Amino acid sequence: MRNVLVAAVVAALCFACNGADQSYLEVPPTPRRAAVWVDENGLDAATSERMRAAGVDEIVVRIGGLNLAGQAPVLRFTPTAHVEGGIPVGIVLEVEGARPGLGETAAEAVWRALDNELRGKTPAEIILDTPRLSEGFDQFAESLTEVSGVSVVPLLSFEQLQEEDGLRLASVARTVVIPAFGSDGADLRGIGDLDPLPLSEKLEPLVGVDVRVRLAVVLSPRTDPAIEGPGDDLDPLTEVATVSTASILDRTFTFDRALTWSGRSWKPGDTLALRWVDAAKLQAALKEIHRLAMPEVAGWDLVSLPPEERSLGLGRDTLLRYLEGEGPEPSIEIRAERDGRNLRVFLANTGPFVTAVTNHGNWVQVSVEDGWIQARDSGSFDGLRLGNSVNGEWRESDLDRFNAVRFTEVYLGPGEHLDSGSVRLPSTRTRALIGWHLTLSDGSSVSGRLVR
């Protein structure tokens, strides 16, 4: 059987070489790799195995800074995160003082210090985060690769790619990490560079250059004013604050009532601007990365693995469940209970994924085809809107007669359960049409309909 298989393969290759089918001669595309950065808390074996099973190819840890301003390089090491499990680990150095004239001698000194700090463990790669480049820095990076035997990957911003020094460094390294999505200023620099240009135009200097890109998505939230720690869930904010899209970030909350949130006391009139990444935003970023035709995509970096207790944005378990194939939409269960002419609707999000924060995009609607209904209480929903549904189109109304009511929710959080106020139908024989529409942060929606 083995000889038969070998003969078949040889015959197929000969057939291809004769020009009948050139597909056998094509070079397969290089696989795209997923890297996840972790903070100083490191990674335990169980989470590492779960991430590996979910398709994570590499863990990245920051180990300190490198100052190249003087005659001798100075490395400043921070406590190194302990990473358990079998996933390869890359390291990040933040570089300052890059100057002309750096070369093999400086590279050898840096590698000796690194090798000593790592105690002989060879990293999967060395990422150099260099906010300011200098002429000839590409020669230093190339020399560091040669003396270490480890790939040196620069982290460059979109604006640095427009510069000759940045483009030359990218060409030497052949692979670069570029912060591209998420909260600018929260964990990596340069995400907002060259906005509002699309991703393909921001990367245009690399088109036709033999460079592969890894696009980084910053998962860490950002607030103004800043808060301590990872942040609490958004749901309490929507209950005591007015939400506006007129914001220096994504949303601004103006407090109507006092609240203690994320370790800080907020009083009426205070404002809080927020930017965060949930599963829908992450999926939108990954879709845009996958659509990029040129330059070639080497993969993506997620920065950083959320702490287990995070509630603002993606929590750790929610991220892992997304990587395992769940989401990004909420898991909706909806039911209606009737008692004669009275009807109530119950909505539950049984999963960890959430909706967008919106004043108008999340609702459950009850309508009738004939007659008028009555409703005055929003129940545990945030709001109640009265109107008329005509051929499926909603029209707001402040009249006493209306055939539809919408129960609105600014934000549907993980595991949240809601119940509407009572809706009084025209008769016990009236059919009630129940529809729902929930908006995700990427602009998509989840909707459905049932009849009671």
Per-residue pLDDT at 14 exceeds 80:
no
Per-residue pLDDT at 390 exceeds 80:
yes
| Strand (E) or helix (H) holding 262 | none
Q: What is the CA radius of gyration of the chain?
A: 28
Q: What's the predicted TM-score (pTM) here?
A: 0.89
Predicted pLDDT at 29? 61
Residues 306-336 have pLDDT tens digits of 988 778 999 999 999 999 999 999 999 999 9
Give the rounded percent of residues in the chain with a pLDDT score beyond 70.
Answer: 93
Neighbours of 119 (CB within 10 A): 6
Residues 32-77 have pLDDT tens digits of 999 999 998 899 999 999 999 999 999 999 999 999 998 899 999 9
Of 149, 104, 92, 140, whose CA–CA distance to 122 is shortest?
Answer: 149
| Strand (E) or helix (H) holding 318 | helix 316-323
Predicted pLDDT at 93? 97
Residues 98-115 have pLDDT tens digits of 999 888 999 999 999 999
Per-residue pLDDT at 376 exceeds 80:
yes
Q: Do 316 and 50 form a contact (C-beta atoms < 8 A)?
A: no
User: What Cα–Cα distance (Å) separates residue 37 from each residue in 63, 281, 296?
Assistant: 12, 18, 22
Residues 85-96 have pLDDT tens digits of 989 999 999 999
Please, what sign has the CA dihedral across residues 49, 292, 330, 236?
Answer: positive
Please list the alpha-helical segments (H only) found in 241-313. Answer: 279-291
Give the rounded percent of residues in the chain with a pLDDT score beyond 90.
Answer: 82
CA–CA gap between residue 125 and residue 220 (Å, rounded): 23
> Higher-confidence residue: 23 or 266?
266
Residues 152-201 have pLDDT tens digits of 999 999 999 999 999 999 999 999 999 999 988 888 999 999 999 999 99
Across residues 130-145, what is the average pLDDT?
Answer: 95
Q: Which residues of 277-307 are buried (b: 16+ CB within 10 A; e: fewer)?
A: bbbbbbbbbbeebeebeebbbbbbbbbbbbe
Predicted confidence band at 4 (pLDDT cuts at 50, 70, 90)?
A: very low
Please, what sign has the CA dihedral across residues 382, 388, 392, 394?
Answer: negative
Per-residue pLDDT at 354 exceeds 60:
yes
Q: Which residues contact 194 (CB under 8 A, 6 or more apart)?
A: 158, 159, 201, 202
Per-residue pLDDT at 291 exceeds 50:
yes
Predicted pLDDT at 400? 80
User: What Cα–Cα distance (Å) separates residue 367 from each residue in 94, 370, 430?
Assistant: 59, 9, 10
Predicted pLDDT at 13? 35
Predicted confidence band at 28 (pLDDT cuts at 50, 70, 90)?
A: low
Mean pLDDT (the chain) is 91
Q: Do 429 and 411 form a contact (C-beta atoms < 8 A)?
A: no
Predicted pLDDT at 391? 81
Per-residue pLDDT at 12 exceeds 60:
no
Predicted confidence band at 393 (pLDDT cuts at 50, 70, 90)?
A: confident
Residues 189-239 have pLDDT tens digits of 999 999 999 999 999 999 999 999 999 999 999 999 999 878 899 999 999
Secondary structure (3-state) at 396:
strand
Per-residue pLDDT at 434 exceeds 90:
yes
Per-residue pLDDT at 19 exceeds 70:
no
Q: Do 62 and 99 form a contact (C-beta atoms < 8 A)?
A: no
Predicted pLDDT at 22? 43
